[in-house]
Each structure stands twice: as structure tokens, then as C-alpha cells.
Structure 1
Amino acid sequence: MLTTITRTGKNLAGLRRTLGEYRYKVFIDQLGWQLPTTDGMEQDQFDQDDTLYVIGVEERGAVVACARLLPTNHPYLLSEVFPFLMEPAVPPRSDRIWELSRFSVSRVGESDRAIIDVEKATRTMLAAAVVAAEEQGAERLITVSPLGIERLLSRMGVHAHRAGQPQRVFGRPIFACWIEIDEQTKRSLLLAQDPLHLTMG
């Protein structure tokens, strides 16, 4: 069973190191991304006190999933690092549009012993991210994702579409993707039938 925890950066407390180490193992050790690190943790300039995080924890307390949410009326990953993914359009800047980044559902380290249904956990995490963003006034999400995410979102029935053409970065195809926070997305994530109620600190 996966439990989602939603916190702002200033209220991560003891989860800050656990989350940073989890992200290091996923994005650097497993995926080989070239990202900033601090003392064995993956974190960058967008990890701030007001950044919103959704963390997935399995029954024994191991972190097995994460997501990061940033309002686009402040600097965010797409606008500052990957603006070319939206050409000829420009990255959005609106408190009604939030960026979803650092999304992962993966068992690492000690959590290798955790038994989770990855597809179900992915749906649970995306649903929690949608709820958290909508509670902040978001109407759409924008992401920078590997191309394979497009197929996953389509299979799940999420209302998602390209914000630009895929491009190769460090040899891997990535693209900017819109995720609409609408009835189609909510139905696909089972939010219409079973809404999530999250507590944020």
C-alpha cells in the first residue's frame, strides 16, 4: 500500500534528507542524469521553502515515489533550463499553471524489498499531484518528460498533449507535455469517484 504525503519545502523536516537521497539514487544512480548534488542528495535551485512535494511511502516507511510542483509565475525547470522544448512558443508564466517535475515511482536501496504495484502507484502519485496543484489554484500542469511518459499517460486516459516537439538531450528524447486538470484527467485517475484529501504543511 502506498501512502502519499504532501509538504512544502519548509515543512519537510526529517523527510528532506530521505527525499534527497531517494532522488539521488533514482535520477543519478539509476538514470545517469547529470544533476547538482549536495552531501549525497540530489537537489537544485528549484528546491525552495515554498516548493510543493508529494512523497510516496510504502508500509514500512521507505520512500518509493516522489513528485515536485512549482508555480510557473516563479522560475521553474522548463523556463530556466529547457525553454527550447516549447519553441516557437514560450514557457508559460501563470499562477494557474504549475510544473510537475522530478516524478518517480521506483524502488531503490532498502526499498528494494518493498512490494508495490508500479502502475497503480504511478496513478496514485499523479492523482495526489493533481489534487495538490488544484488546491493551489492550478488548472493545468506542464512537464519535461522522457518520451515514454506520453504513452503511459495515454494508456491511463489522462488528458495530456505535447507542448512542443520532442528533442534529444544527452542522447535521450524528451518533450514538454501539458496535463489538463479537467474532468477527463480526474476520471482517469479515479478522482471523480474517490477524491483524495491531502494535508499540507
Structure 2
Amino acid sequence: MADLGRYRHKVFVEKLGWQLQCEHGLEYDQFDRDDTIYVLAKNDDDQIIGTARLLPTSKPYLLGEVFPQLLNGQLPPCSSDIWELSRFAAVDFDSSSTSALRQFSSEAAISLLRQSMETAMRVGARRVITVSPLGIERLLRRAGFEAARAGAPMKVDGMSIFANWINPSKNAWRSAEH
């Protein structure tokens, strides 16, 4: 967990400049609980190069608690079969060809997203919702996912973010693999 917290701090605070409450260079928030599911990508040296967090919307989660305004007046979902994907990043800090912005188009990001969707389905998700920067749309299109905005993008702390529905079914993205 400490490695995960350091990685997230490096991505979200140091590289992307998010204003997050962090202690000792570790990025965690109130949604990092015992029941949180993490999907990690690691390189050959066992270093984290990607992460995603999955939370059921039947318990407190980022969109519902912090960013409900992104839902265009709709109530935040609250269901055991709708899960939130948050804190998604795919940055290999040891690679000279990876930037924080490139995280939304790399093969590693696509692989991490697919693994995250497979994990979400294994725990019962029929739909996934995200709070994301606009760049995630490019990743979803490139990976062939069925996705739709839940509301219009909004500027928060100078960054355009939006809520996005994703169909996690492998049938929804299988054709993009070839």
C-alpha cells in the first residue's frame, strides 16, 4: 500500500498538479478502504507503472461524495452492480517515452483499463462510472469501449473533468483487440 500511495502521489500531485491532502508523500483518500479493490500494473522490476481503484456505488465513492455536480442533476448511482473506476493512471516513471499526459493513450493504459473492467465484472459490475479528465475519452475510443458521458465536462481546479459511463463487458471491446 505504501508503494501504491507513493506512486499515486507522484502521478496525481507531482506530475498532474492536483491539490490533494497528502501526508508523507503518500496519496490516499477516504475511499481507500479495506473493501477497495485495486488493479496494479507492474514492470519487470516489480515497480508499479499503473493503477486503478474500483469501488461499489452502494458505499461512499468519489463521484457520489465529491463530484455529484458532474451528473447533470441526476442522483449519483447507488447499486451493487454499478462500480466506480477512479485514480486511474498508467505512467512508467522509469521509461523515457512516458509522460503523465501520455497515460491516456499507451498500450499499458489500454491493458490496465481492460484488466480493470474484467476485475469489475468479476465482482459483479454491470456498469462502471468514472470521474475522469477528458483524455480518458481518447483511451476508451482507442480501446473500443462503449462509453457515454453522464454529464457535461466541468472545470474543477483548472482541469476539465467529467463523469463517464463504461460498459465493462468484454463483448463491448473485443473487436478493438484485433
What TM-score comes out, normalization by structure 2 length? Answer: 0.90
The structure with the greater share of residues assigned to strand is 1
Matches within 5 A, 1:23-62: 23-62=8-47
Unaligned runs of 5+ in 2: none
1:40-67 alpha-carbon deviations (Å, 9 max, x no partner):
1000000011100001100011111000
Unaligned runs of 5+ in 1: 1-15, 194-201
Distance (Å, rounded) in 1 between the aligned partners of 2:25 and 2:67: 25
Superposed displacement of residue 157, structure 1: 1.3
Equivalent residue number for residue 82 of structure 1: 67
Distance (Å, rounded) in 1 between the aligned partners of 2:119 and 2:132: 20
Which residue identity does 1:165 align to in structure 2?
Answer: A
Given the superposition, is the C-alpha separation of residues 28 and 17 from structure 1 closer, same or farther in structure 2, using an over 3 Å criterion?
A: same
Superposed displacement of residue 112, structure 1: 3.9
1:70-96 alpha-carbon deviations (Å, 9 max, x no partner):
000000000000000002211100000
Which residue identity does 1:146 align to in structure 2?
Answer: P
Given the superposition, is the C-alpha separation of residues 189 and 69 from structure 1 closer, same or farther in structure 2, using an over 3 Å criterion?
A: farther
Q: Does the alignment pair 1:121 with 2:108?
A: yes
> Which of 64, 76, 84 is matched with 1:99 structurally?
84
Superposed displacement of residue 183, structure 1: 4.6
Equivalent residue number for residue 159 of structure 1: 146
Distance (Å, rounded) in 2 between the aligned partners of 1:151 and 1:120: 12
Q: Give RMSD over aligned pairs.
A: 2.0
Q: Does the alignment pair 1:147 with 2:134?
A: yes
Q: Does the alignment pair 1:64 with 2:49?
A: yes
Distance (Å, rounded) in 1 between the aligned partners of 2:176 and 2:116: 11
Distance (Å, rounded) in 1 between the aligned partners of 2:83 and 2:176: 18
Identity %: 47
Given the superposition, is the C-alpha separation of residues 105 and 183 from structure 1 closer, same or farther in structure 2, using an over 3 Å criterion?
A: closer
Given the superposition, is the C-alpha separation of residues 97 and 39 from structure 1 closer, same or farther in structure 2, using an over 3 Å criterion?
A: same
